[in-house]
């Protein structure tokens, strides 16, 4: 009975590409972490060790850096699409190329009303991401774009409850009328097509997520995520689906009674582990089939 | 046009369960990181905020600790199966429960021929993992077990080449007749059933992976992974599929010529990023369908 | 010949204290990581195992949380001074108490002109720190305060050179007229006394560091740090000394010539390791003696 | 009133030097993380920006790699001493050079009684360290060696108590007759001279630390550290001082009573933060003065 090679992919992960635009004295800085991978008929490389069809990961790296100049990085999505197409051109045995990009945000150092021309301070309030998959070539080409953000840490100091849940013999949790709710959000949203102003769309979706988190009363993190997703879909026609992975970063009220103190929602211990992990999808009922769009994307479903 | 809740799951991640067996003076130590999650019809929790069907993640945590005593931890697989069944019992709206366990290895401190009775030193040569998914109940119950290991760092100082690969205009890599090959291996293998001596199987598969890595000449990391997978399947009838995720941890030969020194494969710089990332599956041709077994498992396919 | 106990200290590290001020609907959030330690005559605890003089680390933890309520956290410095005094009161054998605090910055979510009342997003542009050492009691009491920041990542895309350095037979570096200079800054400054508006002082020093980094041409990271330190001392009378630890986060210009492309300071690879590490002190000539102020502070000197 | 440059140092941190000895088919692997730094009269580099006296960190890196070949790495101590001397030779304005080395342990893959010739698996049970400081030149030269280990994670499942401690109004801790004691040990020991078989000494000291931890009843982590230090000094004449930094990695007994279960020291939760942090020195009464030996060494005193 046979044993065979199954699904496989290979590429170069975490190319730290920094692109400076310096055509004028006012520089622009684009700070990326780029990972590339190819899928296709690479059985020979595995089974016989023959590498003739393999575009080396070193070449993928070179291409990622060269394209930061040749094609530029007007947005991570635009750059990733160009890279994906290039790899399918360069590697005939590849069926698809997946490009994953993280973009780290920087601000201008505030030395005047518009910030400094070429000095920057890195901001840590979330990383912008995109995962672009280019499949096939020519008329059969399909490009899927799943953009998102990670490491966006949010907290509400009130406006959050958790009660009315199922109890069993292992239940000890007390119901909470008013608690801290905090998460380090991962969100990934799939676009219907590629005719998008990527930077404007990112800014708008990020703002919508923040605003919904802030302004809506929460009966559970599940409900809050659902509302955040709904708001994004309602206000962004080109987004067909959004997925969240949200740790419930517990802040436990500290018992100060032994010390004769009342703790009226004022002093908490922020716990590391364990944490709740809430994951949910919100999608349009008429969303086009995702195909392989989510393949190898860090997501729960 | 409608917007709806799609796939979702929730649970408690990274419960650090430590179980000591102390029935005799010779203690046994089991050191686990346990994550649980439930899937099913939890739409109300998201859409209306009603938590009546939700078994809280806090209760899942309590159950994980209680079961370390009530059921015990003869193996992570056995313990995870028991937990998964319990959650389906406790949460009527759940369709499936996925339990992910990491087990950290410890050695007895060598104070005698058999090591000390109750003093241990943590070993860092790889973490044992399992992902158990229990679906449905009663006669319809299905249990899938995907065990594996992570963080197993391997290196060959010779017996590895990389040449004959595809070239294009972005190629600068020189072919290598003799290089260092190193990786930090992630392997996950799926069992055909649950009638397995889990601990013996883990030890045997780990040994097979190490032995194949060590003793076979490598024309590429792809080939080596394929051979490692084949060996596991050939020697373990109850394993139907194995998946690898293997960073190619580059060790670059340092150019010492400017300093009048010859570097004949003796001095390398170990690079952090970027790294190659090679991922591959080896499977039996008659492997039973995986169903949802790989759902939410950190894997590339 | 004898063997004895030498210097020692003990305490509770990394208490994650979160303090919410909710006296009005507009909440304030203070997010701290608090470490405490005691020094003094604790020889018995080590030599005979007698713990009678030891105020347990668990009690130190309780006190840290209780004081977040009882004393409040108007600033990390003020809170740490109160804690240090308390420990000397509670532990008669302690000679000194050192309190180390990290404060993580949060912004209000921008849902209106002044931000949301109780919803926050964590900012990642640097962590505020303080190390307070309280020695002795009553009239002999001495309080030293060393405040600072860590993880402030800065980058200049021009205005930086490195040339004219010492060469030897191991030199291969090319002189650079124009390069990226980047660092993840650690700065710690010592105050002359405790009669300080801590929050205003922190904001002002942080702004001075940023402005000097941005606006001054750099002939080396050493020079830039010296100028940054000088500016802080010149503009802040109550600071007597400042120490920097600054990794030179290398951004290497990528050679695009093999691909027929000119790289005129536009495409860089951000390297992880190795990195330059530049550490320097700038001090007033009449700075009062530091005494034990820097003892156990993570600093290079 | 003047402002001046104070203490300063600079160098290249975290050079990942991998040295393979392949003179026979049975290879040896030495895996290092090397950091170098120079101190001396480098005021001009800071104050005027003139780099004429500065041996660049890039050259320090080149030298670290070249010396792995030219001098070899018979032990990290021996290699670091050679590097330190070289830097004082190459940089006339330097007064001292400090070389910090971490060595990661590897085992041969066990494919036969003596392990494989050139295939290795990384062991994670502690990292070997050394900090060598070379001061002055010629007859005035002084070499100090502080070796040690980090990340050695130890646990005793019994044989440990904590009671009889000082109580105050913030005390809630219950006395423990039998608890888990665990730590991730950092130990650093100073040698009297450099006439040492470094590898044998390291192995012997590590074994002594493990054996003492395992075999002695503990009334507190303080007592255990003191005993471990005493044993090292009593059995190693060339060690004059040893310092420990030991987090008390808390394992809390889980309350299983709400679930009708007895927890007789069997089920624990391993906590991340906060942790106790116990630091202590054990020294010979006639230890020679340390001078600058501990300067810039990560230690608490």
- Residue A221's pLDDT is 98
Q: What local confidence, expressed as pLDDT, does residue A300 receive?
A: 86
**pLDDT tens-digit map of B191-216:** 999 999 999 999 999 999 999 999 99
- Band (pLDDT 50/70/90 cuts) for residue D1 is low
* Nearest by Cα to C78 from C219, C185, C195, C236: C195
The pLDDT of residue D300: 86
Beta-carbon contacts of C113 under 8 Å, excluding residues fewer than 6 positions away, are: none
| Residue D238, pLDDT score | 97
Quick one: tokens of B10?
A: 């929730």
The band of D299, judged by pLDDT with boundaries at 50, 70 and 90, is confident
Contacts of D247 in chain C (CB under 8 A): 13
Interface test with D, best of B13, B29, B68 (most D CBs within 10 A): B68
* Closest B-chain CA to C257: B170
Residue with tokens 């369908």: B289
Q: Residue range D181-190: average pLDDT?
A: 98
Same fold, C1-140 and C150-301: yes
Give the model's pLDDT for residue B230: 98
- CATH level 2 (architecture), domain B151-301: Roll (3.10)
The SS3 assignment for A189 reads strand
Q: Three-state secondary structure along chain B?
A: CCEEEEEEEEEEECEEEEEEECCCCCCEEEEEEEEEEEEECCHHHHHCCCCCCCCCHHHHHHHHHHHHHHCCCCCHHHHHHHHHHHHHHHCCCEEEEEEEEEEECEEECCCCCCCCCCEEEECCCCEEEEEEEEECCHHHCEEEEEEEEEEEEEEECCCECECCCCCCCCCCCCCECCCCEEEEEEEEEEECCCCCCHHHHHHHHHHHHHHHHHHCCECCHHHHHHHHHHHHHHHCCCEEEEEEEEEECCEEECCCHHHCCCCCCCEEEECCCCEEEEEEEEEECCCCCCCCCCCCCCCCC
In the predicted model, what is the mean pLDDT of chain D? Answer: 97
Using DSSP, how many helices (H) and how many strands (E) does chain A show?
Answer: 5, 13
Structure tokens at B94: 């759940």
pLDDT on residue C248? 98
* pLDDT at residue D89, rounded to an integer: 98
D270-293 pLDDT, tens digit per residue, is 999 999 999 999 999 999 999 989
**C-alpha distance from B2 to closest chain D C-alpha (Å):** 44
Q: D194 exposed, middle or buried (CB, 10 Å; 0-12, 13-18, 19+)?
A: middle
- CB nearest to A66's CB, from C18, C66, C256: C256
pLDDT for D250 beyond 90: yes
In this model, does residue B87 exceed pLDDT 80? yes
User: Among residues A72, C81, A41, C98, which one has the least CA distance to residue B166?
Assistant: A41
Looking at beta carbons, which residues of chain B come within 8 Å of A218? 49
Average pLDDT over residues B6-29: 98
- Residue with more model confidence, C300 or B275: B275
Alpha carbons within 13 angstroms on the beta-carbon side of residue B166 total 19
Which of these is catalytic: D12, D61, D236, D249? D12
Residue-wise pLDDT for C62-105, tens only, equals 999 999 999 999 999 999 999 999 999 999 999 999 999 999 99
Q: Where are the domains of chain C?
A: 1-140, 150-301
Residue D31 has pLDDT above 70, yes or no: yes
Give the model confidence (pLDDT) of B165-179 as tens digits. Answer: 999 999 999 999 999
3-state secondary structure of A275: strand
Instruction: Kindly give the residue spans of alpha helices, DSSP state H, lying in D52-119.
Output: 57-70, 76-90
Q: How many other C-beta atoms are found inside a 10 Å radius of the C-beta of residue C158?
A: 19
CB contact under 8 A, C109 and A154: yes
Summarised one tens digit per residue, pLDDT across range D112-144 is: 999 999 999 999 899 999 999 999 999 999 999
Length of chain C (residues): 301
Min Cα–Cα distance to chain D from A168, Å: 10
Q: What is the 3-state secondary structure (H, E, C) of A216-236?
A: CCECCHHHHHHHHHHHHHHHC
Peptide linkage before B274 cis (omega within 30 of 0)? yes
Q: Give the pLDDT confidence score for residue C301 in this predicted structure.
A: 78
- Comparing CA positions, the residue from C68, C33, A256, A249 lying closest to residue D273 is C33
CATH class, domain C1-140, is alpha beta
Q: Give the single-character DSSP code of D113.
A: T
- What confidence score (pLDDT) does residue B301 get? 78
Verify whether residue C12 is a known catalytic residue.
Answer: yes
* CB neighbour list of residue B92: distance below 8 Å, 6 or more residues apart: B53
Tell me the per-residue pLDDT of C237-282, one tens digit each, with 9 for 90 and over.
Answer: 999 999 999 999 999 999 999 999 999 999 999 999 999 999 999 9
Let me know if D113 is exposed, middle or buried by CB neighbors in 10 A (0-12, 13-18, 19+).
Answer: exposed
CB C21 within 8 A of CB A266: yes
Residues of A in contact with B66 (CB under 8 A): 170
For residue D172, the chain A residues in CB contact (below 8 A) are 258
Mean pLDDT value across residues D183-193: 98
* DSSP-derived secondary structure letter, A259: G
Is A57 a residue of the active site?
yes
pLDDT of A261: 98
Query: At CA D68, angle to CA D63 and CA D72, rounded to 5?
Result: 130
Q: Which CATH superfamily is domain B7-140 in?
A: Urate Oxidase; (3.10.270.10)
Best residue in C31, C251, C266, C272 to probe A by mutation, most A CBs within 10 Å?
A: C266
Using the CB atoms, write b or e for D8-23: b if 16+ within 10 Å: bbbbbbbbbbbbbebe
Distance CA C141, CA C132 (A): 13
CB C31 within 8 A of CB C104: yes
- The set of catalytic residues of B is 12, 57, 250
- Confirm whether C57 is a catalytic residue: yes
Q: Domain A8-140 has what CATH class?
A: alpha beta
Q: In this complex, do A220 and B45 lie within 8 Å of one another by their Cβ atoms? A: yes
Query: What average pLDDT does the structure give for chain C?
Result: 97
**CA distances (Å), origin B11, targets A247, B54, B58, B84, B96:** 10, 10, 9, 12, 12
Whether B267 sits inside 8 A of D155 (CB atoms) is: no
Question: Closest-CA residue in chain B for A8?
Answer: B280
Q: Please answer yes or no on whether D280 and C37 come within 8 Å at the CB atom.
A: no
Tell me what percent of the residues of chain C surpass a pLDDT of 90: 97
| Contact flag D275-C12 (C-beta cutoff 8 Å) | yes
- Cα–Cα distance, C79 to C72 (Å, whole number): 7
Give me the residues of chain A with pLDDT under 70, please. Answer: 1
Closest Cβ–Cβ partner in A69, A116, A151 for C256: A69
How many angstroms separate the CA atoms of C133 and C125, rounded? 26
pLDDT band at B1 (very low <50, low <70, confident <90, very high): low
C-D Cβ pairs (cutoff 8 Å, strict) = 271
> Which one of the listed residues C61, C156, C249, C250 is annotated catalytic?
C250
Query: What six digits make up the tokens of B286?
Result: 């008659």
d(CA C96, CA C41): 10
What does the pLDDT read at residue C250?
98
Q: What is the pLDDT of residues D53-81, one digit of tens each?
A: 999 999 999 999 999 999 999 999 999 99
CB A262 within 8 A of CB A233: no
CATH architecture of C150-301: Roll (3.10)
Q: What would the mean pLDDT of B249-254 be, rounded to a whole number?
A: 98
How distant is the Cα of A123 from the closest Cα of chain C, in angstroms?
5
Identify the pLDDT of residue B273: 98
Q: Is the pLDDT of residue C1 over 80?
A: no
Q: Report which of D114, A46, A38 is spatially closest to residue B228, judged by C-alpha positions.
A: A46
Chain-centre distance for alpha carbon B269 = 28
User: Reduced to 3 states, what is the DSSP secondary structure of residue C299?
Assistant: coil
Quick check: C172 and B273 CB within 8 A?
Answer: no
What is the structure's pLDDT at C299? Answer: 86
Cβ contact B193:B250 at 8 Å? no
Output the CA torsion sign for A150, A155, A156, A160.
Answer: positive
Beta carbons of A125 and C120 less than 8 Å apart: no
Chain C interface test: which of B250, B258, B261, B275 (most C C-beta within 10 Å): B258
Cβ contacts below 8 Å, chain A against chain B, sum to 273
Q: What is the pLDDT of residues C124-167, one digit of tens each?
A: 899 999 999 999 999 999 999 999 999 999 999 999 999 999 99
Domain A150-294 belongs in CATH node 3.10.270.10: yes
Residue B299: pLDDT above 90? no
């Amino acid at each position: 009975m046979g044993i065979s090679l199954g699904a496989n992919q290979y590429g170069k992960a975490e190319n730290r590409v920094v692109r400076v635009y310096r055509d004028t004295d006012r520089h622009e800085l684009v700070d990326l972490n780029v990972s590339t991978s190819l899928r296709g008929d690479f059985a020979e490389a595995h089974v016989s060790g023959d590498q003739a069809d393999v575009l080396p990961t070193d070449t993928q790296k070179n291409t990622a850096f060269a394209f930061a100049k040749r094609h530029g990085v007007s947005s991570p999505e635009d750059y990733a699409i160009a890279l994906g197409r290039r790899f399918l051109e360069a590697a005939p045995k590849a069926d698809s190329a997946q490009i994953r990009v993280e973009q780290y945000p920087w601000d201008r150092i505030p030395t005047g009303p518009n910030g400094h021309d070429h000095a920057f301070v890195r901001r840590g309030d979330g990383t912008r991401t995109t995962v672009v998959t280019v499949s096939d070539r020519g008329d059969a080409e399909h490009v899927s774009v799943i953009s998102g953000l990670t490491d966006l840490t949010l907290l509400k100091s009130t406006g959050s409850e958790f009660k009315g849940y199922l109890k069993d013999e292992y239940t000890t949790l007390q119901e909470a009328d008013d608690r801290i709710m905090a998460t380090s959000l991962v969100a990934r949203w799939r676009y219907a097509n590629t005719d998008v102003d990527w930077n404007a769309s990112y800014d708008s979706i990020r703002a919508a997520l923040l605003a919904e988190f802030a302004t809506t009363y929460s009966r559970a993190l599940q409900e809050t995520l659902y509302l955040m997703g709904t708001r994004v879909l309602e206000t962004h026609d080109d987004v067909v689906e959004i997925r969240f992975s949200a740790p419930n970063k517990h802040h436990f009220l500290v018992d100060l009674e032994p010390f004769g103190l009342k703790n009226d929602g004022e002093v908490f211990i922020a716990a590391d582990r364990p944490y709740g992990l809430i994951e949910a999808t919100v999608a349009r009922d008429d969303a086009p089939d995702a195909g392989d769009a989510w393949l190898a994307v860090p997501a729960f479903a």
